[in-house]
Structure 1
Amino acid sequence: MAKEGPNWDGLLKWSLSHADGTNPPSRNLSEEDRRWFMEAMQAQTVDVIKRMKEITLVMQTPEQVLESQGVTSQDIEDMLDELQEHVESIDMANDLNSIGGLVPLLGYLKNSHANIRAKAAEVVSTIVQNNPRSQQLVMEANGLEPLLSNFTSDPDVTARTKALGAISSLIRHNKPAIAAFRLANGYAALRDALSSENVRFQRKALNVIHYLLQENHSDCNVVTELGFPRVMMHLASSDDGEVREGALRGLLELAQNKSGEVAGSSSIEENEKLKQILQERIRGISSMSPEDLGAAKEERQLVDSLWNTCYNEPSSLREKGLVVLPGEDALPPDVASKHFEPPLRAWAANRNEDTMSSNEKKQAPLLLGLGPPTQDPPAQNSFSGAMPGEENRDTSA
């Protein structure tokens, strides 16, 4: 059976034979060979913009029409997977709006299939991540509204988590989006997310809370009024290490930015429940194996910092030497710089060392110059063979 498609083995042999210098291209390609070569190359070349336009056309087609043509939800997911690969480039992400693909993509956030809603949110997250231009375009297209709707009320927890991930990327270093999130009662939705039983949802919510509190310290009052400390204290005893760290990080942020009665000592520092939880974590950390202690580095430091902030004294972890383990504060050995040193610089350095070494070998002994003038010493007898005692003898006779 004949092989279908280009003969890649033949193409490789042809390329090598004309590029290794042993067989210079002394003959001209025939038109047939040239056409075959161009077809082989074009078969593996993708016009990204053209492909994105084709995907946009599909996204603009009503769902009922696609279903009547045999397009399944899995086909749509695969198409969105491909689109996500294309928009990983910032230029392609910004071009998606230019070719009319951003609005129908946001429309997929309202699709009847939960998997498509989740995948669409994931693509949006890729588009706006570290991309101020696309962040602005999504905000102008009112993209935050369906994301908030899915985050707060989607019946599928994966779709809710992906929507929160897209919101996290959208509000990053984006003050208008942060303001819109706050006005849409986003903090209340984050509190509900913390009460979820889904660990990934909890992790994402804790990360967003930490970022928002760092950006706006005054929001510590808001989250305290909404009851976040109580929920975070509960999560500080979670079986998931990342959830524990996120909860401890949030509690530490609140304790360090306390102001007035809302976030004062009555709700954080003197809370007996918090003290019991921290003592429980100290006991748990103290009983960890060396391997687990290494993995729990951030948790160890968070527990100690929170204890010190709330009770003005170091935790017992510090007394046991478990806050910073031996060797953790030491700089790693420099084993790579000499291997990655620019060759020219290394050659110059070695040459300079050789030159200095050679100069040291050829350097003449240091000669002392004449000192300051002094009184002439008494005249000495020029006869080197004079006997002792004859120096002052009168020889004029």
Structure 2
Amino acid sequence: MFDWSQLLKWSSRYIDDTNSNSNIRQIDPERLEFLQGAVREAMKNVVDPNKLILEAKDKLSVLNDEEVLASLTVIDRCVELPDCALNLEKIGIIQPLLSCLSRSEEIRSIIYQILSKSMQNNLPVQNSFAKLGALSLLKQSVQDEDSEENKSKGITAISSLVRHNKALEDSFIYDNGIPLIALWLHSDNVKVRQKALSLLRHLLIQGVVSSEYIVGNNSKIIDIILTLSRSNSISNKEYQNIQYGETISETLLELINAFNSELNSSLKDKIREEVNKRMTFLIDYRKLHPDDDISPEYSILIQCEKLLD
């Protein structure tokens, strides 16, 4: 038997008292970790996580954000269990979860997390959420986010919804998906930019992005990515996020792979110039930081160069 009363009593102690019984904007990460630990402890003897989600569902409509947050933490743990996410539609909790996107920043944060875990590479669950307008709701929610951290999590949720689902990938593209990615790429937050690049790269690999969005529209996406590469080569400190540099170059490679035959000579020269600058930067960077492995990105840039010849 899951002790809800004890969990809710516990959560009210560890969530900032100044926000108690009102909208929680943020929760201290350490306190959230305590809450998650309490949930794991409380779930040790739970036999049926689906029943637990059903119980949690009834608590998502209450006004008290502390209670909602505690309930969502339980659901977040449940969807990690085998096949649990497949039963979300049967339990009737998809709409209540999506409704929580209109609540506090902290609640939206965990909702993005739950949705990402539930929908990732899970076609039936993706379709269940899509039927209730999840794509439009998530896009609007991310657009309205003040928190860049939440925006990053929201993009992850969108990616989990559409990836490897051809109909949803097409829907995302046709409904201003590329301009939206371009907007995210202008974020000051490296996580937001990296998540946007990863989604764009996936869509390019899947072949669902037509040239009108890339080569047309004054090649804005290409220019943005070249600018990101240039900016990432200005500061050695920025490059310490090695994965980010690789993601930029990987995305550029997929753009060239997909549309090389449609790039005019001027644009090819511009790309080639930036690729060469990045390669020079990596060589210089390696001299200063010999322990950092720049070889994966360097190999990607060599591929870019060969394709442009």
Instruction: Return the TM-score normalized by structure 1.
Output: 0.60
> In 2 relative to 1, CA 48–139 (structure 1 residues): closer, same or farther, beyond 3 Å?
same
Superposed CA offset, 1:249-277 (max 9, x none):
1211222233555x333213455752553
> In 2 relative to 1, CA 277–107 (structure 1 residues): closer, same or farther, beyond 3 Å?
same
Helix, strand or coil at the partner of 1:181: helix
Q: What is the aligned counterpart of 1:230 among 208, 223, 232?
A: 223
Answer with 126-135 or 211-220: which moved more: 211-220
Does residue 1:130 correspond to 2:121, yes or no? yes
Contact 1:128–1:169, Cα closer than 8 Å, also in 2: yes
Number of equivalences: 257
Residue in 2 aligned with 1:194?
Answer: 185
> In 2 relative to 1, CA 256–100 (structure 1 residues): closer, same or farther, beyond 3 Å?
closer
**How many angstroms does 1:305 deviate by?**
1.6
Superposed CA offset, 1:176-226 (max 9, x none):
111110122011111111111101111111100100001116534412334
Residue in 1 aligned with 2:8?
Answer: none
**How many angstroms does 1:82 deviate by?**
1.7
Q: What is the aligned counterpart of 1:300 among 290, 298, 302?
A: 298
The separation in 2 between residues aligned to 1:165 and 1:133, in whole angstroms, is 18
Helix, strand or coil at the partner of 2:268: coil
Contact 1:124–1:166, Cα closer than 8 Å, also in 2: yes
The separation in 2 between residues aligned to 1:205 and 1:257, in whole angstroms, is 18
Q: What is the aligned counterpart of 1:94 among 56, 81, 86?
A: 86
Write the letter of the residue equivalent to 1:249.
E
Helix, strand or coil at the partner of 2:187: coil
The separation in 2 between residues aligned to 1:96 and 1:218, in whole angstroms, is 31
**How many angstroms does 1:49 deviate by?**
2.4
Write the letter of the residue equivalent to 2:59.
V
Residue in 2 aligned with 1:332?
Answer: none
Contact 2:282–2:294, Cα closer than 8 Å, also in 1: no
Residue in 2 aligned with 1:204?
Answer: 195
Residue in 2 aligned with 1:14?
Answer: none
> In 2 relative to 1, CA 274–87 (structure 1 residues): closer, same or farther, beyond 3 Å?
same
Does residue 1:180 correspond to 2:171, yes or no? yes
| Counterparts of residues 13-52 of structure 1 (less than 5 Å) | 44-52=45-53
Which blocks of at least 5 consecutive residues in structure 1 are unaligned? 1-41, 313-397
Residue in 2 aligned with 1:372?
Answer: none
Does residue 1:290 correspond to 2:290, yes or no? yes
Helix, strand or coil at the partner of 2:72: helix
Superposed CA offset, 1:92-124 (max 9, x none):
21212212111100111121x111112111111
**How many angstroms does 1:289 deviate by?**
3.9
Write the letter of the residue equivalent to 1:253.
E
Write the letter of the residue equivalent to 1:127.
S
The separation in 2 between residues aligned to 1:120 and 1:183, in whole angstroms, is 25
**How many angstroms does 1:285 deviate by?**
4.5
The separation in 1 between residues aligned to 2:256 and 2:140, in whole angstroms, is 32
> In 2 relative to 1, CA 46–195 (structure 1 residues): closer, same or farther, beyond 3 Å?
same
Residue in 2 aligned with 1:338?
Answer: none
The separation in 1 between residues aligned to 2:249 and 2:165, in whole angstroms, is 26
Residue in 2 aligned with 1:39?
Answer: none
Superposed CA offset, 1:122-142 (max 9, x none):
111111112111111011111
> In 2 relative to 1, CA 58–260 (structure 1 residues): closer, same or farther, beyond 3 Å?
same
Contact 2:126–2:161, Cα closer than 8 Å, also in 1: yes
User: Please, what is the CA RMSD of the aligned residues?
Assistant: 2.4
The separation in 2 between residues aligned to 1:78 and 1:177, in whole angstroms, is 31
Write the letter of the residue equivalent to 1:266.
S
Which structure: larger Rg? 1
Residue in 2 aligned with 1:157?
Answer: 148
Greater RCO, 1 or 2 (C-alpha within 8 Å, sep 6+) = 2
| Counterparts of residues 51-62 of structure 1 (less than 5 Å) | 51-59=52-60, 61=61
Contact 2:119–2:161, Cα closer than 8 Å, also in 1: yes
Residue in 1 aligned with 2:281?
Answer: 281
**How many angstroms does 1:78 deviate by?**
3.1
The separation in 2 between residues aligned to 1:307 and 1:254, in whole angstroms, is 13
Write the letter of the residue equivalent to 1:176.
A
Superposed CA offset, 1:286-333 (max 9, x none):
5254321xx2231121122222222x3xxxxxxxxxxxxxxxxxxxxx
Helix, strand or coil at the partner of 1:257: helix
Does residue 1:107 correspond to 2:99, yes or no? yes
Contact 1:118–1:162, Cα closer than 8 Å, also in 2: yes
Superposed CA offset, 1:49-79 (max 9, x none):
22111110011x2xxxx34xxx3x3442332
Helix, strand or coil at the partner of 1:212: helix
**How many angstroms does 1:150 deviate by?**
1.6
Contact 2:279–2:298, Cα closer than 8 Å, also in 1: no
Contact 1:86–1:92, Cα closer than 8 Å, also in 2: yes
> In 2 relative to 1, CA 136–272 (structure 1 residues): closer, same or farther, beyond 3 Å?
closer
Which blocks of at least 5 consecutive residues in structure 2 are unaligned? 1-42, 233-237
Residue in 2 aligned with 1:343?
Answer: none
The separation in 2 between residues aligned to 1:172 and 1:128, in whole angstroms, is 9
Contact 2:204–2:254, Cα closer than 8 Å, also in 1: yes
